Amino acid sequence: MSFVDVIDLKVVDAVARHGSMNKAAVELNTVQSNVSSRIRSLEEELGVSLFQRSAKGVQITPAGRRVLPYAARLAKLLSDAAAAARDDGQPSGLLEVGTLETTLALRLPLLIARFAKAWPDVRPVVRTGTTGSLIQDVVECKLEGAFVAGPVSHPDLQAETVSNEELVLVTSRSVRTLDALTAMSHLKTVVFRVGCSYRQRLDALLASMGIVAPEPLEFGSIDAILACVSAGVGVTLLPRGVAASAWEDGLVAVHDIPAAFAHVETVFIRRTDGHVSSALATFLDSVRQEGQARPSPIRQRA
């Protein structure tokens, strides 16, 4: 029977992140020989190689990658235990959450500002990503929670609906109707990177119209996406409120789409086995109390 202890997993995690036994040793405040010896002993115990050694450093093997999530989960459990012991109910400390770019633009700035003012001992850190990447980060204990597009079904996660969004197709002003898209010979989609649920919905919407889109153009910000759409480079799918400003400024056209594609929940996800700190609990209360007021609806100009 194989036994893996906490230190073993910490060493594996450090070596994987640094790609170097020496750098891992510096982080762990030990010497390289101790790190090498622990990795070698663990590999012998498990009967598999966790790293491939070379003159340029070390590279994690598939077996090593399968071990990493357990290292992150154990580290999070130990951190949670320490946090729970120190948590006296007064919100304080670091609060790391993730969010979609669209949720950050539409919902969070005022909420975060009010929360930070009300609870000055809490240091909120907000990281952006796609639904796919944020789910992975929460599962791997890299974030305490995240705002993503629902529904989310994962055995290690629980999800709470915080708002409902209406998606619209955003095009250049020259596109007057959805039917006009079928006549475009070089239609492109302008989207976030792989893992974005809006991107998947856009592909499904176009497919329902008999349109097979080419390889999409990927951007990392809403401003870049809207600028390309305004210039006639392609089309995109965004929450109505996110497109409102560009529409009101006459930069883009906004089109209603069938209900099957238009409605999406924004949910907050966190691990089911994670410690809910006073900071996180208070933040979630703020999210609920905010009511997620919807932006004023916009409609296509005549």
Share of the chain above pLDDT 90, in %: 55
**Which region holds residue 266: left if phi is over 0, alpha if psi is between -120 and 50, else beta?**
beta
| Integer Rg of the chain from CA | 23
Per-residue confidence (pLDDT) for residue 3, from 0 to 100: 58
Paired residues of 270 in beta bridges:
158
Per-residue confidence (pLDDT) for residue 293, from 0 to 100: 47
Which CATH architecture fits 165-263? 3-Layer(aba) Sandwich (3.40)
220 pLDDT higher than 70: yes
Span 216-242, mean pLDDT? 92
Per-residue confidence (pLDDT) for residue 1, from 0 to 100: 43
Q: Give the CA distances from residue 236 to residues 14, 215, 226, 242, 290, in Å, rounded to whole numbers and listed in that order.
A: 40, 13, 8, 12, 28
CATH number of 6-84: 1.10.10.10
Per-residue confidence (pLDDT) for residue 296, from 0 to 100: 42
Span 116-139, mean pLDDT? 93
The CATH topology of domain 91-164+264-290 is: D-Maltodextrin-Binding Protein; domain 2 (3.40.190)
> What backbone phi and psi angles, to 5 degrees, belong to 243?
-85, -5
Contact 125, 95 (CB under 8 A): yes
Q: Where in the chain is the domain with CATH 1.10.10.10?
A: 6-84
Kindly state the tokens that stand for 252. 């883009």
Per-residue confidence (pLDDT) for residue 291, from 0 to 100: 61
Per-residue confidence (pLDDT) for residue 236, from 0 to 100: 95
Lowest mean pLDDT among 14-23, 111-120, 127-136, 209-218: 209-218
More confident residue, 258 or 56: 258
| pTM for this entry | 0.74
Q: Where in the chain is the domain with CATH 3.40.190.10?
A: 91-164+264-290, 165-263
